[in-house]
Structure 1
């Protein structure tokens, strides 16, 4: 069965690479980068993976140079790694996790408690740790500074991380790879996004299933008028899958509507309520400059965000273009 999957994947990759060779973004147009007046420097909150956390960002000029993640007890438990080449930058969002099982951690804590006494040691500082990528983002740029391609690899913890003894395994597993190739209009807006989405086998990451998509954006002046999604069943021949129409009330986005998708935006003072498909409700609190300073995602997770003056590339690296286009209230 595995060999059959390999054969299918090889066929899909061959077709996809042939198609991808057509997706060239020209360097000839003059790209005008849209710069933010403010950039995020801290995000605090909770989520299912990290629990309570704080992310602190540092910049070198206008690019991310470091992210540090701390937990509820102010232990440093994560960060980023960066790899630069002549044509790309890779940002690796990292978890720092124990490389020993729970039984070993308990034994170590017992030893430290007997040696130093309760409250006189920090268990986290004594644990052997491993750096594991939770997300790896590679940005490829054109010579004019525009983003040509964005590759996002997402990882998740090994199911065996809860095991003990010989069954224990702490290394994270590659789950998906999303590659986006962009084309721009004369106003430096992304108007075509060609997407390859790979779902990796949990045992062998080199085995994966690939789906092809294309997103075309229609503009009316400086506003998005519609997003049109295409799929390519079998790896060739794009066909329209859905169209998302945008409705505005003055300069404010009020609704996005697709075949099986509705998102409404309600404004009240400095708060925006976003309801998706008449069920999930998220709320955003804005400051006087229109930046999101507090967000409740509707699933029990609340985040607070702090900014400083200046342009940064956090949103370009860690906020998907699809989210930026379907929700104007993203973290910059």
Structure 2
């Protein structure tokens, strides 16, 4: 299931408590208005194969994104913080019992969802079982920002909690800044008291971030991202965790917007933009954005 989660994150990046509230008029307090917004995404991934997404906005917010496959069949939609995918309404066993040539009935299922207010995020993950998607788990974030009047406020701290039966139901990250850039994050878990278990160390070369390394209190490196700049508008990010590495290459336009994302396995996305502010990046958890990789706006 981590594979599906990663595919969706790459798609939305390159995707709480307020789930029952209408938050369409609430913008995250730490992000300003962008000059351009993604209008079209064409690519290939392991979940959808070859696909194309056409995105439409209303009042600077995503109204709907229609995902079609290479046969121009609609296979999914993106709307109001949700990724909704069409899946068979029958089990594989029931499909095998159909007459040859019979059409398989389809139904729509949520496979990823983000609800956001100014200071809170709720991220719901779903897992694939047989041909269906079912609820997997939910993460709930509460963010604390600096006390300036700037539109692009700095995230000083976040807390995350999940279901009561989680092994670690409550965690926290506290950031240290040098000017406007993150120098370090202190990651802790709560069990009657806060206990620091790792530090996130950010590295830079001039104004460019060159990586982030997660180091446990025992000195062991738990995760590392290395950023390599291939040109002024191209960069490679290699993420190493649990002995495995994954490489993603980003191409940016002259305005700094992501126009192409390439994985080492051949999956890719090409983006086209139009003038105007959009909230496509709301699909991406703020805690993920703070790691430094480019993301689609």
Q: Same fold (TM over 0.5)?
A: yes
Contact 1:45 1:302 in 2 (8 A): yes
State the shift of 1:185 in Å: 0.4
Structure with the larger RCO, 1 or 2 (CA within 8 Å, 6+ apart): 2
Question: C-alpha distance in 2, partners of 1:157/1:279?
Answer: 24
Q: Quick check: 1:224 aligned with 2:182? A: yes
> What is the aligned partner in structure 2 of residue 174 from structure 1?
135
State the shift of 1:258 in Å: 2.7
Q: 1:297 aligns with which of 260, 263, 280?
A: 263
Q: Quick check: 1:63 aligned with 2:61? A: yes
Map of 1:193-212 to 2, 5 A cutoff?
193-198=158-163, 211-212=169-170
> What is the aligned partner in structure 2 of residue 251 from structure 1?
207
- Relative distance call for 1:197 and 1:298 in structure 2 (3 A) is farther
> What is the aligned partner in structure 2 of residue 330 from structure 1?
295
> What is the aligned partner in structure 1 of residue 125 from structure 2?
154
> What is the aligned partner in structure 2 of residue 281 from structure 1?
247
Higher helix proportion: 1
TM-score (norm 2): 0.77
Q: Quick check: 1:266 aligned with 2:216? A: no
* Greater gyration radius: 1
Contact 2:41 2:271 in 1 (8 A): yes
- Relative distance call for 1:208 and 1:249 in structure 2 (3 A) is closer
Question: C-alpha distance in 1, partners of 2:97/2:71?
Answer: 19
TM-score (norm 1): 0.69
State the shift of 1:55 in Å: 2.3
Question: C-alpha distance in 2, partners of 1:212/1:286?
Answer: 36
> What is the aligned partner in structure 1 of residue 6 from structure 2?
none
Question: C-alpha distance in 1, partners of 2:275/2:214?
Answer: 36
Higher strand proportion: 2
Q: Which runs of 5+ in 1 are unaligned?
A: 1-16, 18-30, 83-90, 112-122, 141-146, 162-169, 200-206
Map of 1:1-20 to 2, 5 A cutoff?
none
Contact 2:154 2:180 in 1 (8 A): no
State the shift of 1:92 in Å: 2.4
State the shift of 1:208 in Å: 6.1
> What is the aligned partner in structure 1 of residue 286 from structure 2?
321
Map of 1:78-89 to 2, 5 A cutoff?
78-80=76-78, 82=80
Identify the range of structure 1 (296-305 vs 242-251) with the bigger mean alpha-carbon deviation.
296-305
> What is the aligned partner in structure 1 of residue 172 from structure 2?
214
State the shift of 1:105 in Å: 7.6
1:179-223 Cα shifts (integer Å, max 9, x gaps): 111111024222111111349xxxxxxx76662111122222221
1:95-142 Cα shifts (integer Å, max 9, x gaps): 11221345648846636xxxxxxxxxxx6xxx43211110122223xx
Q: Which runs of 5+ in 2 are unaligned?
A: 1-16, 18-28, 216-220
> What is the aligned partner in structure 2 of residue 132 from structure 1?
109
Map of 1:28-43 to 2, 5 A cutoff?
33-43=31-41
Q: CA RMSD in A?
A: 2.6
State the shift of 1:47 in Å: 2.3
Question: C-alpha distance in 1, partners of 2:249/2:230?
Answer: 11
- Relative distance call for 1:303 and 1:258 in structure 2 (3 A) is same
- Relative distance call for 1:149 and 1:283 in structure 2 (3 A) is same
- Relative distance call for 1:209 and 1:70 in structure 2 (3 A) is farther
1:57-76 Cα shifts (integer Å, max 9, x gaps): 21112211112111121101
Tell me how many residue pairs correspond in the alignment. Answer: 255
Contact 1:198 1:209 in 2 (8 A): no
Contact 2:121 2:285 in 1 (8 A): no
- Relative distance call for 1:192 and 1:284 in structure 2 (3 A) is same
